[in-house]
Amino acid sequence: MTIVTRFPPSPTGSLHIGSARTALFNWLYARHHGGKFILRIEDTDRKRSTAEAVESIFDGLNWLDLNWDGDATFQTANLQRHTEVVRQLLESGQAYKCYCTPEELAKMRENAKINGKRVFYDRRWRDRAPQNEPSDIAPVVRIKMPLEGKTKISDLVQGNVTIENEQLDDFIIMRADGSPTYMLSVVVDDHDSGVTHVIRGDDHLNNASRQFHLYCAAGWEPPTFAHIPLIHGSDGQKLSKRHGAKSVQEYRADGILAPALCNYLLRLGWSHGDEEIISRKKAIEWFDLDGAGRAPSRFDSAKLESLNGHYIRITPVSTLTDLILDAYRNETLDCDHKTAENRIKAALPFLIKRAKNTVDLIDLSKFLVKQHNYPLAEIKAKQLIATGLPEIRKIQQVLSEIEDWSEDTLNTSLRTLADGLQLDFSKLAQPLRVALTGSTKSPGIFDVMTILGRTETLRRLERVPNDKTH
């Protein structure tokens, strides 16, 4: 049997972090077993579905490198098939038309509330003869659920789940306007697509028993279910924006690398021994649902950021260089493209030690390709330039006489200058750093000078204003 999993997002917003994890688990399960991973856009909610959301889903999955097999499908394209299945269920006696008025349904809800019972359709149209059907009411179609016994589902994560059938109502599978409901459509689409495993959040666990009986009513083999606990915030509550939860695109904009995000999502609710850093290759090799836990996982933004720092450090220099240069594609640089590329490559071993995300990398690399302007933005940097101007001019004079532009020579010359001025070396290094980078944060000062080179270092010192008003 070929394993087939699916990811069926609703295009009503961007790809959320919880949905991304569901997609990842389905993708890994299919790839681990040499199966298929299909993408289905469940766009039956026409009022809320948007083309922008569809593109956001595609973009998010592509960025995470979760490639699907074949073309993505849209649920609305299969409405005729959904309607045909409803007709077949009516003809086979597995479903029936319900002509209850809104007033009658409201009365049922009221009585249930008064009696302290759950709202339950009383099945009054379940066994009525066709001749009793009113002609002035558009009916809904309901499935006939079993009235006695138990429904048992073997879930790959939750274990054996048993539900008393008396708790299952005859739910609607087609609305009065002739449109199939989600519950019916998803079963038909999963069956027609050959889906063998339904892997999703445990907020859908209650749907499993209902969908199980829809499969049985249609004479189809139900898929294997696996319901994964939801992601919670650090306080144990349902994950939300206040816990740092964002869309995939927002994490990307915040400088999180796709491999880091996938690694982090993989470890939210799944484990393989004590492994924390798991490559894509190892994830495919190791992933199976016996590693999924039953307890909700807790989202930790700091842990994600730390993991991202690790992935930045192991990402090839060429990849990071391209990423940084791409951030400046619409900006005017202070040097040609090749010089910018060379400077960034030379600086990256120092920059990655300080960066936890690519935004940090871009910010830290700015001085390499863009000449800072005066006045300075940082108050501390402005103060260092103002008070350290005499030292900067002395540094400029010493550096202008150096031909051997090596770290050793630079180090010796500037420390000799500091000793001669009876200054702690930091009193020279700090204003020099600001003069060359425009910031109080950068790689080591000798690294900065060797990366920039003699000509550019002296040029930047020359540009420092000779007054203290900047």
Any idea which residues carry the catalytic annotation?
Answer: 241
Alpha-carbon span 426 to 379, nearest angstrom: 18
Q: Which residue has the tokens 């933004």?
A: 301
Do residues 68 and 23 make contact, with C-beta atoms less than 8 angstroms apart?
Answer: no
Count the neighbouring beta carbons within 10 Å of the beta carbon of residue 134: 9
- Helix-helix angle 389-400:445-462, to 10 degrees: 100
Alpha-carbon span 328 to 370, nearest angstrom: 9
Distances (CA, A) of 289 to 155, 159, 194, 196, 199: 10, 11, 20, 14, 9
Query: Considering only CA atoms, which of 354, 321, 360, 327 is closest in space to residue 340?
Result: 321
Distances (CA, A) of 81 to 145, 380, 419: 22, 68, 86
Strands 140-143 and 95-98: antiparallel
Do residues 20 and 53 make contact, with C-beta atoms less than 8 angstroms apart?
Answer: no
Alpha-carbon span 179 to 314, nearest angstrom: 52
